[in-house]
Amino acid sequence: MLKLFWTAPLTAKLGILAILGYAFVAIFAPLLTPYAETAIVGGSYELWSDEYPLGTDNIGRDMLTRLIYGARNTIGIAFLTVALAFVVGGVVGMLAAILGGWYDMVIGRFVDILMAIPSLVFALLLLTVFGTSIPSLVIIIALLDSTRIFRIARSAAMNVVVMEFVEAARLRGEGMAWVIRKEVLPNIMAPLLAEFGLRFCFVFLFIAALSFLGLGIQPPLADWGSMVRETATLINYNDITPLLPAAAIAGLTVAVNFVVDWMLHLSSGLRSDST
């Protein structure tokens, strides 16, 4: 892994380091913050000072603390959502490629129907019906996003299931789970990993957008999308505080895209002389 890192282009190195930095902040948030996540420590919209390095929000909570905890909540929930979406969409997609026939046709048409509905509109409808709790948020977005992953997994697996080694495994009497785990999945892992990075960006931005609209991660939990909404009025007073969570969202998105571009380059088999 270290050898692969040193041979990576500069953009990919910067992206990896940035992602590790975000992960460190998210994991060790309680140790890095001066106050508790939901503690009201001052007046509303306190100015930047030694006591409050980034000021306070509309009800007097420390913005630096909220920004750090926002990394844990926003990134953690987005990662959990994408992981669940890949489990559902990946497994169903590989089964569709292996089984084919009526199963592939029925699942494919059902996925087409879901993909025909705009994701944001569908998510807003479902969250209004089922509530905006974190389990509901994760499950709804994961199921909606699994349709895209189904397409990628099915398309990649279709090129593998016709290979001789898969037929040989079937003739040996290997079960479906063994064929998927040992033969199909390892051979489509590269495009799936690249897609994981892309889907993480989309889900991460999607959750931030829902939180900005008031239907994502709910108070008193810190979230970068809701932090932008709560402090947006400060823009009228030339205060850049609302730009901080927006910059955190943009920074992670750019970093992940740098790494995904590198992974796509590696999976394509092309050589690059620049580092």
CB atoms within 10 A of CB 69: 25
Alpha carbon distance 96, 242 (integer Å): 46
Tell me the pLDDT tens digit for each residue of 168-226.
Answer: 887 787 777 888 888 888 888 878 888 888 888 888 888 888 888 888 888 888 888 88
Alpha carbon distance 64, 22 (integer Å): 14
Residue 185's pLDDT is 85
**Which string of DSSP letters, residue by residue, matches 69-137?**
HHHHHHHHHHHHHHHHHHHHHHHHHHHHHHH-HHHHHHHHHHHHHHHHS-HHHHHHHHHHHH---HHHH
Q: Which amino acid is at 145?
A: D
Q: At what angle do helices 243-268 and 63-99 cross, to 10 degrees?
A: 30
- As a three-state string, the secondary structure of 159-203 is CCCCCHHHHHHHHCCCCHHHHHHHHHHHHCHHHHHHHHHHHHHHH
Alpha carbon distance 58, 61 (integer Å): 8
CATH code, 12-268: 1.10.3720.10
Residue 274's pLDDT is 43
Sign of the alpha-carbon dihedral angle for 32, 35, 38, 44 = negative
Can you list the residues of the chain whose pLDDT is less than 50?
270, 272-275
Residue 270's pLDDT is 47
Residue 139's pLDDT is 92
Angle at Cα 195 formed by Cα 193 and Cα 197, nearest 5°? Answer: 75
Residue 1's pLDDT is 63
Residue 268's pLDDT is 61
Q: Where are the domains positioned within the chain?
A: 12-268
